[in-house]
């Protein structure tokens, strides 16, 4: 076989390196702590200048999460080289508007470099394109509201200057769909954009805009709530009809999954009429690290597919559509579900991860009713001085089906399993003790585990299992104390992870 030319071999090698760096960047997105996220960013940056072409090469297709990963890596690269490369990327004519905006985002947000006027001028096409498409989107939304979801999710990836230009242009359009679009943009996690959307919405003095303000007030950023309330009062002063929000209809109910080991929880909101064959259905995925990140909503689903209404606290065993198993869902009040969503939205604002577009469209299903200012507080069991003795038996938490997918497994677990499998006569408990200490030495891991146990304590209490609820909150407190690695619950969790990671022949 003829040997491959050296130049071609070098090209293939560089391509492989680039693909590996891309894989490493996406692997950053799976980390469970900020500490681990930055550690991996430093590892990628340690490869040096060969990382820069991978960053610039992914600008055109990077979403907000990947952009954050690339920006964090850029912090640890040679500053002069990466700044120069990003500035050049903004000037390339073949680069998409999204790519140029991505380069500017990394320069400003992560490297503290403000592009000059010449570079900013290169982005004028992005503003023109976004504004020019407004009228078409508003028209299409009259028959297809999903068009608003797609458009707003596109704005989430745009530079704030572009989105602000769109918001201001909305004030000059006609039609009620502009009110819907402004209401959705007002739920942007970037406060300056949300504030501008509220101001423009305040100039459209019609009852539909007043109703939009009423649904926005419960979930506004604290600094914007008074702004929205003041604009709503102005509507009343000038004679715009403001209809009080109705009380929550008894037709609404919520079903809530347990919190999994990654801090994720699903909430279903169902509006069922007992005499109708169909129901409204809104499914929201909440993450204790990111907020309300995904949502699916349907105006009509067959009532036959939904679990029958039961008293609050009932646990439904619901088969998954793909027949891969079942999920346990807790019957709860509509307001308990709303409070969980409100807490998640606050996390979106904290992390600056956009709220799911479908949730922004359908938010009136949740906030178009009164009582949002008096949602029930988190319910936790009352502890007594004698409860501390229960902590020794806390390992039995893992026997509950709601904890079946909890894990602390990460690279350390895999490494420990590989090392243990090469050692004859190894002692499982010694490895569990060592691994638990290594895992819990990361304060971010301990905080996340404690936070999730508190959330599970409420879920168990609402389900009527006060004993396990008490165990969960006791563990949550102990994990934040000294020697969390010695807790029976932590040891049991690490032991299960280690046993799952080991070949079966090494467990005998």
DSSP structure string for 147-161: HHHHHHHHHHTS-HH
**CA distance linking residue 214 with residue 433, whole number of Å:** 54
Q: What is the 3-state secondary structure (H, E, C) of 428-464?
A: HHHHHHHHHHHHHCCHHHHHHHHHHHHHHHHHHHHCC
The token duo for 332 is 């709860």
Q: Find, among 371, 369, 495, 356, the residue nearest to 430 by Cα.
A: 495
> In whole angstroms, how far apart are CA 333 and each of 152, 168, 252, 397?
30, 39, 8, 25
In contact, 295 and 282? CB cutoff 8 Å: yes
What single string gives the DSSP state of each residue in 11-55? HHHHHHHHHHHHHHHHHHTT-SSHHHHHHHHHHHHTTGGGHHHHH
Can you list the residues of the chain whose pLDDT is less than 70?
A: 1-17, 32, 93-94, 115-133, 321-324, 425, 503-508
Q: In 3-state terms, what secondary structure has residue 361?
A: helix
Contacts of 231 (CB under 8 A, 6+ apart): 198, 199, 201, 202, 213
| pLDDT value of position 146 | 84
In contact, 70 and 55? CB cutoff 8 Å: yes
Contacts of 468 (CB under 8 A, 6+ apart): 397, 400, 460
pTM above 0.85, yes or no: no
Radius of gyration of the chain from its Cα atoms, rounded to whole angstroms? 26
Contacts of 15 (CB under 8 A, 6+ apart): none
| pLDDT value of position 49 | 85
| pLDDT value of position 21 | 83
Q: In 3-state terms, what secondary structure has residue 264?
A: strand
Domain boundaries defined on the chain: 6-122, 153-237, 252-374, 385-506
Partners of residue 327 on adjacent β-strands: 318
Residue 302 burial by Cβ neighbours in a 10 Å radius (0-12, 13-18, 19+): exposed
Q: Find, among 90, 83, 97, 99, the residue nearest to 131 by Cα.
A: 97
In contact, 188 and 221? CB cutoff 8 Å: no
H or E element: which one contains 298? strand 291-302
Helices and strands (DSSP H and E) totals, the chain: 23, 6
Q: What is the pLDDT of residues 82-128, one digit of tens each?
A: 988 888 887 776 677 778 778 888 888 788 877 666 555 655 555 66
What single string gives the DSSP state of each residue in 180-239? HHHHHHTT-SSHHHHHHHHHHHTTS-SHHHHHHHHHHGGGS-HHHHHHHHHHHHHHHHTT
Contacts of 11 (CB under 8 A, 6+ apart): none
Query: End-to-end distance of the chain based on CA atoms, in angstroms?
Result: 50
**CA distance linking residue 241 with residue 250, whole number of Å:** 26
| pLDDT value of position 5 | 42
**CA distance linking residue 224 with residue 194, whole number of Å:** 8
| pLDDT value of position 321 | 64
Partners of residue 456 on adjacent β-strands: none
């Amino acid at each position: 076989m003829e040997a491959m030319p050296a130049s071609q071999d070098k090209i293939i090698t560089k391509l492989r390196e680039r693909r590996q760096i891309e894989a490493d960047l996406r692997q950053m997105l799976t980390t469970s702590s900020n500490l681990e996220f930055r550690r991996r960013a430093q590892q990628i940056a340690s490869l040096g200048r060969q990382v820069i072409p991978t960053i610039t090469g992914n600008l055109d297709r990077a979403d907000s999460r990947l952009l954050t990963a690339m920006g964090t890596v850029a912090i640890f690269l040679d500053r002069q080289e990466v700044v120069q490369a990003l500035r050049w990327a903004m000037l390339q004519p073949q680069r998409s508007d999204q790519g140029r905006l991505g380069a500017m985002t990394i320069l400003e947000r992560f490297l503290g470099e403000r592009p000059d006027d010449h570079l900013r001028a290169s982005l004028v096409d992005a503003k023109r394109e976004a504004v020019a498409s407004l009228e078409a989107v508003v028209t299409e939304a009259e028959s297809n509201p999903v068009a608003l979801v797609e458009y707003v999710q596109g704005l989430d990836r745009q530079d704030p200057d572009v989105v602000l230009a769109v918001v201001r242009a909305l004030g000059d359009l006609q039609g009620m769909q502009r009110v819907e679009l402004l209401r959705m943009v007002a739920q942007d996690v970037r406060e300056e954009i949300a504030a501008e959307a509220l101001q423009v919405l305040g100039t459209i003095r019609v009852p539909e805009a007043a109703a939009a303000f009423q649904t926005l007030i419960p979930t506004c950023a604290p600094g914007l709530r008074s702004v929205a309330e003041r604009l709503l009062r102005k509507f009343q002063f000038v004679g715009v009809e403001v209809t009080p929000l109705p009380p929550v209809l008894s037709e609404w109910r919520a079903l809530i999954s347990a919190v999994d080991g990654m801090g994720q929880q699903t909430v279903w909101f169902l509006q069922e009429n007992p005499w109708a064959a169909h129901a409204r259905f809104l499914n929201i995925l909440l993450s204790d690290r990111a907020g309300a990140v995904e949502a699916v909503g349907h105006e009509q689903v067959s009532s036959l597919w939904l679990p029958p209404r039961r008293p609050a606290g009932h646990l439904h065993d619901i088969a998954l559509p793909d027949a891969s198993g079942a999920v346990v869902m807790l019957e709860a009040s509509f307001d308990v579900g709303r409070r969980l969503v409100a807490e998640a939205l606050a996390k979106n604002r904290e992390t600056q991860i956009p709220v799911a577009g479908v949730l922004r469209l359908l938010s009136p299903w949740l906030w178009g009713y009164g009582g949002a200012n008096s949602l029930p507080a988190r319910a936790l069991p009352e502890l007594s001085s004698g409860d501390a003795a229960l902590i020794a038996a806390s390992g039995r938490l893992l026997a509950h089906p709601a904890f079946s997918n909890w894990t602390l497994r990460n690279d350390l677990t895999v490494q420990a399993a590989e090392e243990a499998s090469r050692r004859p006569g190894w002692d499982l408990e010694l490895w569990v003790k060592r691994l638990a200490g290594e895992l819990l030495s990361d304060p971010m891991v301990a905080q996340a585990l404690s936070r999730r146990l508190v959330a599970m304590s409420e879920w168990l209490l609402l389900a009527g299992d006060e004993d396990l609820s008490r165990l969960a909150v006791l563990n949550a407190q102990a994990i934040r104390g000294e020697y969390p690695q010695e807790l029976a619950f932590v040891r049991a969790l690490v032991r299960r992870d280690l046993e799952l990671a080991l070949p079966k022949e090494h467990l005998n």
